[in-house]
Chains A and B, each alone.
Chain A
């Protein structure tokens, strides 16, 4: 658990628009400039400056890329699985379906656990969002959204609200109530507004802020109470499909993965893209931080899952097999980070040994694509949601 680098955030007047905002520290032609994130984005979209052509820009970006690769290569002396050779192998696993939650009328698209370790919220294609007590398999609350394809849902840290969104381009927060007969839709709060579908949402450390990612290629941080946009994150050139907040003490970064095959790490305070990884061959469907916050795993349509180390600034492991052809839709780590659970489009869940890079178990049971996999907060079980309309709890 090493110290995180602390980037001092400067706040002050932007060199360009003179508004007081958090500033991004970037260099242009080796000159440091302090622009707010909006101005940086505008600068990237402006036409060619004097003396620039597409070819000069292309050449410049190529040299920067090679320089970065060289720097990274200098420090790469050993592979992860080499270090792991001395570690003893894992034994046989017996993981069975302990609960099957039936109740959705259509594909289950997203699942999230409550911090009380037994409740979950799930959303489906027909617009229904259901809160279950997974232990007793009782449904506790149900909300019908006004749109279909609710691809994102999240449980608030306090356990008092859920957020969900999808094709309506919005993220709405529904406060839960103890009264079973109350219509939750009446107290709904519309928080986020995107220009395209909402692919993923997550509460930060409290109920008052939500981080969202959208098909319009941006991520955004919102204030729940007022619906105000606090920070937006531009940098993906295609739909952003997934995001995950870092579990670190500073809690200032998050990673997002998108259809442009890139996984980007962002600083929540300034909106700056601090790191970017592009080694996948197809869309990245899911990103998840390693429990210590020093690395993250991704699952992609190219049928591989990969582990990226943030301090090494490179990919350190690939989890793939010749026989696995269908894309991975969702990944999650076990509590210690030794196991990686990945749900695939061929109806199976593969369990990988993160250190050695081998597969330790394959779980059958779903009758259609596994769309989402989430480990419970205390690591005792994980939940998988599938397009066969059911959720399964495995332990």
Chain B
């Protein structure tokens, strides 16, 4: 029985490590005697190691031949070491590339990363000198001994043979061989608590290198699903619309133009967030500008929506937005309360003589009424889209020209950019201590819900009976 470990062996063939093929091609190039990295005989302790290369040479070669700059080349060469293509001669456990005179060698792929081989390797080291194994290696050895008990004679025999073969070699060759073998197993059986590059995560179910079995249902699926053709537009028009979006929002992107007064992450002051809370009295000029970009931007900002509602109240046309909000709530709400919500919406907004009647065309009304026979969450979709388009094409533009919007534009504040030098360590520490925790979103949410309930109660039609009953009660 072989041990099932969660590290795969021989991962070069794994489909998702197919990037390794490109890496291997690069390594082959690096080993080219004329154009590759220059290796020399270097002294390590008392032996001379042939074909040793220095870290800085590796980085220089990669920078030149792979068209990268220094940092990238270093990162790439660290990957080479992490995957075991190059191994360090000094400090063999740390699989990083040091861009200095540290020595490295190319790995020779002689072994298969299987448990049997690992057991032979550990046994061999044990024979050579007892007690030389690290704690984790000893543990692995004991485990393997238990699981491979039936094969153990074979393993010990192999270990002894390899040990004798090793003794017969020249001292220099032996040192090199031992280094190589040790490096190989550091990569394929990493010590615990280290980050191994060989870890590729969970197995996925499909091997992308294998051709998908093209049975009848593969084709049938294509035939069925391709029978629609989305409408296309000319590329130029679409490319321009993408560009237009980017240009419109350029000044609002904190990565492109620093946000005012300052970016809270860079400067440890959360004044930016304080000025832009969802329910702030006076919004910033940038925020108000953003509302004018599109109706969707106006609605998605709670402060913008509130301002829009003020405008609608003045125009006495608040029912459109109220209907849209109610339909959204239905769409995204729980399934349990869905049919009663649908009923309520119909009674409040669509039924003839409803208290907040909205004006939709006959066809849409017909579709909606038909849909209400079997209420589902999308039953008001047609009506909702109609109302949304109406608000977007008409009401929104009137809002932008209205005194309400002009007033908020005037009132809006423009915080001055604040730059200060965070060069002193003490200042940094001070800033860290000053980081204020914020109100938990749970509390904010609860407050919002309370306010919504109050607003709903105030906006609903007054029930005369209840009012009279409460008056009578008081008497």
Contact = CB atoms under 8 A, between A and B. Distances in A.
Contact of A225 (B264, B273, B335, B437): B335
A387 B202 CA distance: 13
A44 B334 contact: no
Given A78-B236, A135-B270, A335-B249, A61 B19 contact: no
A346 B75 contact: yes
Contacts of B197: 368
A308 to B, nearest CB: 11
B238 A312 contact: yes
B378 A133 contact: no
Interface string A63-80: 011001001100111111
Interface string B435-470: 111101111110000000000000000000000000
B253 A83 contact: no
B410 interface: no
Interface in B263-316: 263-266, 270, 272-273, 276, 293-296, 299
B245 A291 contact: yes
B243 A160 contact: no
Contacts of A188: none
A61 B226 contact: yes
B163 interface: no
A295 B242 contact: yes
B471 interface: no
B233 A75 contact: yes
B19 A301 contact: yes
A228 interface: yes
Contacts of B420: none
B220 to A, nearest CB: 5
A163 B456 CA distance: 30
A322 B67 contact: yes
Choose among A177, A260, A261, A346 the residue with the greatest number of B CB atoms under 10 Å from its CB.
A346
A184 to B, nearest CB: 12
A178 B256 contact: no
Contacts of A117: 273
A44 B221 contact: yes
Given A116-B438, A206-B332, A312-B238, A301 B245 contact: no
Nearest to A334: B255
A260 B376 contact: no
Contacts of A348: 72, 75
Given A72-B232, A83-B239, A250 B442 contact: no
B204 A136 contact: no
B256 A334 contact: yes
Contact of A133 (B212, B238, B437): B437
Contact of A335 (B253, B294, B334, B440): B253
Given A57-B223, A322-B67, A312 B255 contact: no
Interface in B387-441: 388-389, 392, 435-438, 440-441
A47 B220 CA distance: 9
Given A76-B235, A178-B443, A208-B332, A58 B294 contact: no
B235 to A, nearest CB: 5
B442 A335 contact: no
A79 B238 CA distance: 10
Contact of A196 (B205, B227, B272, B273): B205
Contacts of B334: 208, 223-226
A262 B168 CA distance: 57
A279 interface: no
A282 B18 contact: yes
Contact of B195 (A75, A95, A367): A367
Interface in B21-47: 22-23
Given A27-B227, A239-B205, A58 B219 contact: yes
B461 to A, nearest CB: 26
Contacts of B228: 25-27, 274
B181 interface: no
A65 B222 contact: yes
A14 B265 CA distance: 54
Contacts of B221: 44, 235, 237
Nearest to B69: A362
A61 B219 contact: yes
Interface in A339-377: 339, 345-348, 354-355, 362, 364, 367-368
Contacts of B381: 8-9, 269
B333 interface: yes
A283 interface: yes
B435 A208 contact: no
B67 A323 contact: yes
A1 B245 contact: yes
B444 A346 contact: no
B224 A28 contact: yes
A259 B15 CA distance: 11
A380 B246 contact: no
Nearest to A134: B265
B153 interface: no
Given A248-B296, A274-B228, A135 B438 contact: yes
Contact of A249 (B226, B242, B253, B388): B388
A388 interface: yes
Contacts of B332: 204-206, 208-209
Contact of A325 (B22, B226, B234, B238): B22
Given A8-B382, A57-B223, A250-B385, A239 B204 contact: yes
Given A224-B334, A238-B205, A11 B255 contact: no
A225 B79 CA distance: 47
Given A44-B224, A312-B235, A380-B264, A119 B230 contact: no
A303 to B, nearest CB: 6
Contact of B374 (A20, A54, A311): A20
Nearest to B16: A301
Nearest to A280: B208
A336 B264 contact: no
Interface string A22-61: 1001111000000000001001111110001010011011
Contact of A90 (B249, B256, B270): B256
B259 interface: yes
B206 A239 contact: yes
B224 A160 contact: no
Nearest to B338: A223
A336 B256 contact: yes
Choose among B219, B336, B442, B443 the residue with the greatest number of A CB atoms under 10 Å from its CB.
B219
A338 B254 contact: no
B212 A260 contact: yes
B371 interface: yes
Contact of A54 (B206, B219, B367): B219
Nearest to B324: A249
A185 interface: no
Nearest to B337: A225
19 contacts: A8-B367, A26-B224, A26-B228, A28-B224, A44-B220, A54-B214, A64-B223, A115-B441, A133-B438, A208-B332, A273-B225, A311-B231, A311-B232, A311-B233, A313-B230, A336-B245, A338-B253, A362-B71, A381-B263
Given A75-B233, A378-B276, A387-B199, 6 more contacts: A83-B236, A230-B335, A241-B204, A316-B239, A325-B19, A338-B246
Going nearest first, the 7 A-B pairs with the smallest beta carbon separation are A159-B441, A57-B219, A336-B249, A336-B253, A395-B265, A238-B206, A206-B332
